[in-house]
Amino acid sequence: MNAAGRSDTRGKLLLDEPMARHTSWRLGGPADRYYVPADLADLQAYLAAIDADSDILWVGLGSNLLVRDGGIRGHVIAPLNALRELRLDDDGSIYCECGVSCARLAKFCHKQGLANADFFAGIPGTVGGALAMNAGAFGGETWTAVEQAIMIDRHGGLHERGRDEFEIGYRHVRAPGAEWFAAARFRFARRAAGDESNIRQLLQQRNASQPIGQPSCGSVFKNPPGKHAAQLIDAAGLKGFCLRTACVSDKHANFIISNDDTVASDVEALIEHIRQTVDERFGVRLETEVRIVGEAR
C-alpha cells in the first residue's frame, strides 16, 4: 500500500506534514496529506486514485503562500524537484515541468544562448508557481514566452492548451477549467551577439533593495494601477512597523518579515492593518499578491 492507499503510485506521502517546512515565511499548520510525486505518470495515478471531491492545493516553493495555523485539509501536491524535466526540443522550444525552479530555467536558457529569460533567476519559486502567478521582475513576465501549457485535471488527465485559452494579467492567470500546470512550452528569442547575461547584475540590484535572507514572501500586495504599494505603505508611516511578532521590513515596505516566534495569524493581522491604514489615508484598497490558504486555528 502506498500514497493514495493503492499499490500503483511510487511517490512519497507525508501525513500531518507541517507546512512551515515548505513556505518561505516558515509558517503554517499541518497538511493532512502532502504528496511528492515520483514523476508525471505517478502524479496522474495519484490523482486518479484519490476521492474525486477531496480538496487539492498545489505548492511549489511556497514563496507566495501564507498558510494559516490550522493547516490544510485534503491533499497538497508538491512537485518541486520531482516534476523536473527541462529540455530544448528540435523546434527550438523549451519544455519545462512545473517542479523546475525558476533559477534553473534561467541558467538553462542562458546556456542555450536564449534571451529574455534572465529575470527568472530572481524569482525564488518553481515554474508552476510562476505560471500560476504570472510572476515577473525587471520588466520580464512569465507568460510573455509561454507558447503552450500542459495542464493536469483532478483525475490525472493531461490537456495541451494554447496561451489564448488563458486569461492573463498582472500577477493574474485564470485557466479555462479546474486544472493545474504540469508543464509548459516556452519560446525565447536567440541571444544577439554581444548581448551578455545580466543575471548577476539583476540579483545584485535585488539584494540592494530587498531584505533577501529574511523570511518573507516577497511583495505582499499588488501595485494598484499607476501606484506603488511600497510607496503607499511607506507614506502611511508603516515602514518598520510591527504588529505582535510580524514586521513590515524597514528595507522594503511591501515585504513582511517573520521570525521564529511568528504565527500565520500575526502576519494576517498585519496585512489587514496595512490594508486599513492605507485605505484610510489614501482611499486605496490594496489587494494581496500573496495567496492566503488553509484553516485558522
Ligand X SMILES: Cc1cc2nc3c(=O)[nH]c(=O)nc-3n(C[C@H](O)[C@H](O)[C@H](O)COP(=O)(O)OP(=O)(O)OC[C@H]3O[C@@H](n4cnc5c(N)ncnc54)[C@H](O)[C@@H]3O)c2cc1C
Catalytic residue among 33, 104, 171, 275: 171
Stretch that binds ligand X, among 4-12, 127-135, 191-199, 269-277 (CB under 6 A): 127-135
Contact map string, positions 212 to 241, toward ligand X, x by CB under 6 A? x---xxx-----------------------
Q: What is the 3-state secondary structure (H, E, C) of 40-73?
A: HHHHHHHHHHCCCCCCEEECCCCCCEEECCCEEE
> Which three cell numbers mark 158?
493531461
Stretch that binds ligand X, among 116-124, 185-193, 226-234, 279-287 (CB under 6 A): 116-124
Neighbours of 101 (CB within 10 A): 23
123 binds ligand X (CB under 6 A): yes
Q: Which residues contact 208 (CB under 8 A, 6 or more apart)?
A: none
Annotated catalytic, 190? no
Annotated catalytic, 147? no
247 binds ligand X (CB under 6 A): no
DSSP label of 11: S
11 binds ligand X (CB under 6 A): no
Neighbours of 105 (CB within 10 A): 24
264 binds ligand X (CB under 6 A): no
DSSP label of 190: B
Minimal distance in Å, beta carbon 280 to ligand X? 27
Closer CB to ligand X, 183 or 263, in the complex: 183
Q: Which residues contact 203 (CB under 8 A, 6 or more apart)?
A: 121, 122
Place of cell 495541451: 160
Among 11, 30, 71, 125, binds ligand X (CB under 6 A): 125
Rounded to whole angstroms, the Cα distance separating 52 from 155 reads 7
Catalytic residue among 24, 63, 219, 258: 219
**Site residues (CB under 6 A) for ligand X, limited to 272-291:** 291
Rounded to whole angstroms, the Cα distance separating 218 from 227 reads 18
**Site residues (CB under 6 A) for ligand X, limited to 44-63:** 57-63
Annotated catalytic, 289? yes
94 binds ligand X (CB under 6 A): no
Closer CB to ligand X, 281 or 291, in the complex: 291
Minimal distance in Å, beta carbon 224 to ligand X? 16
Q: How many residues of this chain bind ligand X (CB under 6 A)?
A: 32
140 binds ligand X (CB under 6 A): no
Stretch that binds ligand X, among 30-38, 107-115, 120-128, 277-285 (CB under 6 A): 120-128
28 binds ligand X (CB under 6 A): no
Per DSSP bridges, beta strands 65-67 and 291-293 are parallel
Dihedral over Cα of 131, 95, 212, 28: its sign: positive
Q: Which residues contact 221 (CB under 8 A, 6 or more apart)?
A: 229, 233, 254, 274, 275, 286, 287, 288, 289
Per CB under 6 A, residues contacting ligand X are 24, 57-65, 98, 122-126, 128-130, 132-133, 135-137, 180-181, 210, 212, 216-218, 291
Residues assigned a catalytic role: 171, 219, 289
